[in-house]
Homo-oligomer: A and B are copies of this chain.
Amino acid sequence: MATDYEKLYSAKSIVEKLNIPNKYMRRIMTNLSKNNFIVSIQGRDGGYKFMKSPDNIYLAEIIDSVDGIDKYMGCVLGFNECTPESSCAMHKSWTDTKEKLYNTLSKTSLANLIKDTINKF
């Protein structure tokens, strides 16, 4: 979809391509459109397209807006009271890993993903 980002894609075409449930996918798309990543056009010949260029959409933004980034930023071992001063055994190494991942996600745009490889999806 990002390969031709000004084109309108119907839910039906996306569902067929990705082989995922129709209604569920539409719910996700509606959510994305509420979060201003895509525009949804209702009515006959409607569909979804990007709101801005894929160069300017970063993975971290999407994750944060859909799932909430906090979900992935907590303690690996699930301790609530895990802080730098009083931390779990994996705290340091895991925090480092998270940071690195987050940096990558913040810098990687959808456009980057496209040009990287020959993709099926």
Chain A interface residues toward B at CB < 8 A = 18, 77, 79, 81-82, 86-93, 97, 101, 104, 108, 113-114, 116-117, 119-121
Contacts and interface: CB of A to CB of B under 8 A. Distances in A.
A117 B117 CA distance: 41
A77 B108 contact: no
Counted per complex, copies of this chain come to: 2
29 contacts: A18-B79, A77-B121, A79-B120, A79-B121, A81-B120, A82-B120, A82-B121, A86-B120, A87-B117, A87-B119, A87-B120, A87-B121, A88-B119, A88-B120, A88-B121, A89-B113, A89-B114, A89-B116, A89-B117, A89-B119, A89-B121, A90-B113, A91-B119, A92-B116, A92-B117, A93-B104, A93-B116, A97-B101, A97-B104
